[in-house]
Structure 1
Amino acid sequence: MPEDFHDFFSDDDSWDDGSGHDHFGSDGVDGGSSTLPPRPPKSRRDMRRHRKRKHRKRLIVIIASLVVIAMCIGIGVFAYGKVKQWRHNNLTDSSVVDDYPGPGDGDVAFTVESGQGVAEIAEGLHAKDIIKSVDAFTGVVASNSYTLYPGTYELKYHMKASAVAKILSDEGNAKGFVEVRQGERLDDVLKTAATSSGLPLKDFEDYVNDAAKMSEILPASANGKIEGWLEPGVYNIGDNPTPRSILEQMVQSRIENLNELGVPEDEERERILIIASIVEAEVNSQEYYGKVSRVIENRLKDDMPLGMDSTVAYGFKVKGTELTNDQLNDGSNPFNTRVNKGLPPTPISNPGDDAIQAAMHPEDGDWLYFVTTDLKTGETKFTSSYDEFEKFVQEYKNGNENAN
């Protein structure tokens, strides 16, 4: 056992008294009575215990070192987070400090152009001395997830950034621009145009009801009716707006877009707009547009009434949920497709591109009926069977909703 034998001597420090001298004389004889005899060598058991103690000490040192390192890392991460938070707070505080207290003084008009970003808007506000710093304004917009709308706003000099951001994020405060939303009715567009332009609503109503004036801006296929011919988008009303200058922009934009989409011209174009407007009004998800378009085509082909509540509601200028049984059965309403066969005389809104595409390219199918069985999710079921349709209606009614 050479290894054990080596350990026996290498671990036995009793052979050395720490002075560097042996306990025996140079001649090998005891050097005197004061010199103690050497201790006997350690046993192997003692040596093993000794090695275990040394191993435990090393292990403890290693574990303690790792703990210290972990603590240092943790403290470093914590300190970094605190520094980062301090920098954030410091920047925020700086933005707040670098801000006017408000409410401001004097009057100034400021225009947000369509397509401008937050930073660009902030630079413009700062250049006019409406806000004190760009950072204060952009910080408020970002922290509140504001959407800034195009238009001309009445502001003051030296305003608090948060007050300016709140005004610019309220579309009702915008002037100089008017927006047409897809699926929006003409009446609502006219109200928005009147508010944005400052012109009386009656001026717009009189203009659209004048067939001679309508013929000047509408194609012949529109038959003098502007509903459906206003392209969704945002429009600059200009410095000296008139009902014609505003509405003509929307009509021209619609014609250009229909051309780009490849919508057939003449009477077919009006027909496509009518179907698209119904499609968009009947379901709240574009995944069903193509199927609803097919239902309309199939019913027309089979000489069935379309039976669409959306058209009836349009004729009475109410929402679909506000219809009464008398209204649903009133055939004097030319838009009542429950009673009158064929398409209604005009579109019932200003549809968007997806609905127009669906009207041009309906999905393949033999469906004649559809019911939105769950208005929360928009789930809509289609069938060619009247019996199955009645089951869908019952499912709809169980949710206390009206079936189509």
Structure 2
Amino acid sequence: MTEHEHNDAPLLPAEPEYVPGGSRRRKRKRLPGCLAVLVALALVVGGVWLAGSKVTDFLSDKFASAPDYDGPGRGKIVFEVASGDSAAAICRGLKDDDVVASVDSCISAAQANGDSAGIQVGFYELKKEMASADAIDVLVDPANLQTSSVTVPEGLNVDQVVEVLAKGTEFGASRFRNVLDQPAKLGLPDYAEGNPEGYLFPSTYAFGPKDKPADMLSAMVDRWEQAAEDADLEGAAEELGYTPHELMTIASLVEAEGRGDDMPKVARVVYNRLELEPNPTAGFLQIDATVNYALDKSPIARLTLDEIDSVADSPYNTYKQKGLPPGPIEAPGDAAIAAAAAPAEGPWFFYVTVNLETGETKFTDSYDEFLGFRSELDEYCDTQSDRC
């Protein structure tokens, strides 16, 4: 045994293990099986914790810690929710107007409010520097919509419509008349020839706080256009042999003279008087409402012979002038426009409203029977003079 044989370990490292393919690798010390599994598990759990904490931190920074005003706010601002606005669009608008401190805090408040999906289009009064939750609370309540509700009844002429609008809004009558003097702003049909009489549609309107007289009057013309389309005014006019403007004139007469289910029959009387021979009043409509329009009186006021003669030359005096007056005498509603476009079938030349309280109206093609109806009306007026 040599001197080297007394050492416990070799002097040179062991020959590396041969690996097929010509490469060599060193032998590695391996961890016991259980310990390896524990180490791997610790690494996985640690990674998940690290990733989760980063996501939590991100969301916390993004939403939970998004800037928000304490409220209750200051001043006053009118904010509009437009058609098609999403929650994000609403919140961006609120941030731009300095109602809320950040878009993120606003979106979080909207998500937390179950009614936010039902926010209605319109104008709302808010404050600057509101807490996001408070601003959303205002928007979800329809009672907070800022509108001026104005009801324009059927049968008013332009001057009367202006009075109603002036009373129901913050604008004086002169502001509306200034717009009416510039009819190009209204969107009237060409056949109206710039005259809004009859084309300011009677309805209930909800005007926003930013609406001006031009907006309001244009909205009324837009609503008339809808009614005309529903009644196929232009198609009916062509079929009946009249212009759309003439049908609107007839509709205004029907509005003034008829009620409810009687309107198509009143329209037929107008057409029959204009078209059919023989009859005692061929070509003369003899409608009191047109003469009252010339006299600037209420359409239901009974006329005297002196009053009829006083406006004999007026084109609206249908006792003295044949045919239709030059245009509508008041604003007809849906039913009257529909009646003018689709008159009832019948032989009637005459009608008399024999009871002005109930609106009972009788129709006939007999002149003698008509005179009997007039006597019936006279008897009514003798007992109800305040209504005649």
Tell me which interval the TM-score lies in, with the shorter structure as reference length. Answer: 0.5 to 0.7
Listed as ranges, the gaps of 5+ residues in structure 2 are 1-75, 79-122, 126-145, 277-281
> CA 1:239–1:376 in structure 2 vs 1: closer, same or farther (change >3 Å)?
closer
Corresponding residue for residue 255 of structure 2: 280
SS in 2 for 1:199: coil
Q: After superposition, where does 1:226-237 map in structure 2 within 5 Å?
A: 226-237=196-207
Alpha carbons 2:232, 2:341 under 8 Å: kept: no
Matched, 1:316 2:295: yes
Alpha-carbon displacement from aligned partner over 1:299-339 (angstroms, at most 9, x marks no partner): 10144210111111122221132644332222232211111
Which TM-score applies when normalising by structure 1?
A: 0.52
SS at match of 1:264: helix
Q: What is the distance in 1 between the residues matched to 2:124 and 2:166?
A: 14
Shift of 1:215: 6.7
User: Which residue identity lines up with residue 294 of structure 1 in the other structure?
Assistant: R
Aligned to 2:165: 193
- Aligned counterparts of 1:216 and 1:247: Cα–Cα separation in 2: 7
8 Å CA contact retained: 1:232, 1:350? yes
1:390 to 347, 371, 379: 371
Change (3 A) 1:205 1:222: same
Report if the CA contact (8 A) 2:185-2:214 is conserved: no
**Unaligned 5+ runs, structure 1:** 1-107, 111-150, 154-173
Q: Aligned equivalents of 2:190 and 2:368: distance in 1?
A: 43
- Cα distance in 2 for partners of 1:195, 1:375 equals 28
CA distance in 2, matches of 1:109, 1:215: 29
- Cα distance in 2 for residues equivalent to 1:261 and 1:363: 15
Counterpart of 1:332, as a letter, is D
CA separation of 1:177 and 1:384: change in aligned 2, threshold 3 A: same
Cα displacement string for residues 266-318 of structure 1 (whole angstroms, at most 9, x for unaligned residues): 873222221111112113x3121111111100110144210111111122221
- TM-superposed deviation, 1:370: 1.0
1:370 correspondence with 2:351: yes
Distance 1:364-1:248 versus aligned 2 partners, 3 A rule: same
Aligned match for 1:301, one of 275, 279, 292: 275
Contact 1:180 1:230 in 2 (8 A): no
CA gap 1:382/1:310 in 2 versus in 1, 3 angstroms: same
Matches within 5 A, 1:145-160: none
Q: How does 1:121-270 map to 2 (within 5 A)?
A: 176-210=148-182, 213-214=183-184, 217-264=187-234, 268-270=243-245
Contact 1:152/1:177 (8 A) holds in 2 = no
Instruction: Give how far 1:175 is off.
Output: 7.0
Query: Is the 2:231–2:341 Cα contact (8 Å) retained in structure 1?
Result: no
Q: Is 2:332 the partner of 1:357?
A: no
Give per-residue Cα distances to partners, 1:130-173, cap 9 Å, x unaligned.
xxxxxxxxxxxxxxxxxxxxx999xxxxxxxxxxxxxxxxxxxx
Closer/same/farther in 2, CA of residues 245 and 376 from structure 1, 3 Å limit? closer
Between the aligned partners of 2:322 and 2:245, the Cα distance in structure 1 is: 17
1:179 Cα shift? 2.3
Quote the offset at 1:225 in angstroms.
Answer: 0.9
Native 8 Å contact 1:263 1:360 kept in 2: yes
SS at match of 2:201: coil
Preserved contact between residue 313 and residue 320 of structure 2 (Cα < 8 Å)? no
Partner of residue 40, structure 2: none
Q: Which residue type is aligned with residue 159 of structure 2?
A: D
**Residue 328 (structure 1) aligned to one of 308, 312, 320:** 308
Q: Which amino acid aligns with 1:288?
A: D
Number of matched pairs: 237
Q: Contact (CA 8 Å) 2:147, 2:209: kept in 1 or not?
A: no
1:279 maps to amino acid: V
Residue identity opposite 2:291 in structure 1: V
Give, in whole Å, the separation in 1 of the partners of 2:302 and 2:350.
22
Change over 3 Å in CA distance of 1:383–1:152 after alignment to 2: farther
Pair 327,208 (structure 1): closer, same or farther in 2 beyond 3 Å:
farther
The alignment's TM-score, normalised by the length of structure 2, stands at 0.54
Q: Amino acid of the residue matched to residue 344 of structure 1?
A: P
Structure 2 counterpart of 1:228, one-letter code: G
1:338 aligned to 2:308? no
Rounded to whole Å, the distance in 1 between the matches of 2:148 and 2:158 is: 19
Distance in 1 (CA, whole Å) between partners of 2:186 and 2:380 is 49
Taking the aligned partners of 1:323 and 1:393, their CA distance within structure 2 comes to: 13
Distance 2:330 2:349 in 1: 23
Give the letter for the 2:308 counterpart. Answer: L
- How far apart in 1 are the matches of 2:321 and 2:289? 14
Contact 1:279-1:355 at 8 Å conserved across structures: yes
User: SS where residue 301 of structure 2 aligns?
Assistant: helix
Pair 1:109–1:355, CA change in 2 (3 A): farther
In 2, Cα distance between equivalents of 1:216 and 1:358: 25
The offset of 1:342, in angstroms, is 1.1
